[in-house]
Chains A and B, each alone.
Chain A
């Protein structure tokens, strides 16, 4: 950090200005590789078990495409908002960056609310965690994704608080960048969830 001290002018691409920042980004990609494998195992168990519905409802009876489409739009838009936050970061505009991050987590909360509503509907329709192999693998996969969204909302919320307290520096910038990468990854996983779980569930 010798060449870029905390109080000096912010360098170009501040998230990569220090070795620590670059290592943080590289390490985060390693984490995403592990996350890919984790979600891969959940997807493969869902694919293996999705036809075993027992006495419970089938995917075709359960899923409502309009709700899923709305959830998809919310998450896709929030992903765009977080890339705008990174652009503001590169332009060193702190206030717009915080604004984009706030919209990102608000949309994330909207997505979570919709998912909670969806799950309660399913439970009323007799689709609970222990109902069938399909329901267990469904809640594990989709719930795990939802937990990632919830974690992302908390994490980005804390980063916003830290930026407001400490400002945009070579220490805080990598956090914003890495959390945006995380948020895009959550959206990428959702692309496969709405494709493999919901749309393929409707097709049968």
Chain B
């Protein structure tokens, strides 16, 4: 982005390397696998409840992290503000979920 914009069109395209679809396809396949693991853990019915919960939450958190990083471009530079916003959102949601699960029905 810091490079000058006066260069000719061909130079511009080589200088600003346009990313290929590879990492997005990897993200898609990874999301697919994580989803399949989560569904399989429930559908098999052979894993005990507590461990199934751990698998489900783990798969969801990893999938969301990967999608935020690559599909929502948070891995790209200049995304400090969105990162702060999302972390703030996660703290709020975490607090509310803990409250709902452990405090409401005391």
Complex Cα–Cα for A187 and B32 (A): 13
Complex Cα–Cα for A73 and B56 (A): 17
Chain A 1-35: CB-based contact to B (< 8 A → 1; otherwise 0): 00100000101110010000000001001101100
**Across the interface, do A12 and B1 meet the contact criterion of CB distance under 8 Å?**
yes
Q: For chain A residues 32-75, which have a beta carbon within 8 Å of chain B?
A: 32-33, 36-37, 39-41, 43-45, 47-48, 65, 69, 72-73
**Across the interface, do A199 and B39 meet the contact criterion of CB distance under 8 Å?**
yes
**Across the interface, do A29 and B19 meet the contact criterion of CB distance under 8 Å?**
no
**Across the interface, do B21 and A84 meet the contact criterion of CB distance under 8 Å?**
yes
**Across the interface, do B97 and A90 meet the contact criterion of CB distance under 8 Å?**
no
Majority-rule SS of B interface residues: helix
**Across the interface, do A187 and B67 meet the contact criterion of CB distance under 8 Å?**
yes
Number of interface residues of A (CB under 8 A): 49
With A12-B1, A192-B60 known as contacts, the answer to whether A26 contacts B72 (CB < 8 A) is: no
Q: How far, in Å, is A203 (CB) from chain B's closest CB?
A: 5
> 11 new A-B pairs (CB below 8 Å) besides A26-B81, A37-B89, A44-B93?
A29-B81, A32-B86, A33-B86, A48-B100, A72-B35, A87-B19, A181-B72, A185-B72, A194-B35, A196-B60, A199-B42
Binding site for A on B (CB under 8 A): 1, 5, 9, 12, 16, 18-19, 21, 24-25, 27-28, 31-32, 35, 38-39, 41-43, 49, 52-53, 56-57, 59-60, 63-64, 67-68, 70-73, 81-82, 85-86, 88-90, 92-93, 96-97, 99-101, 104-105
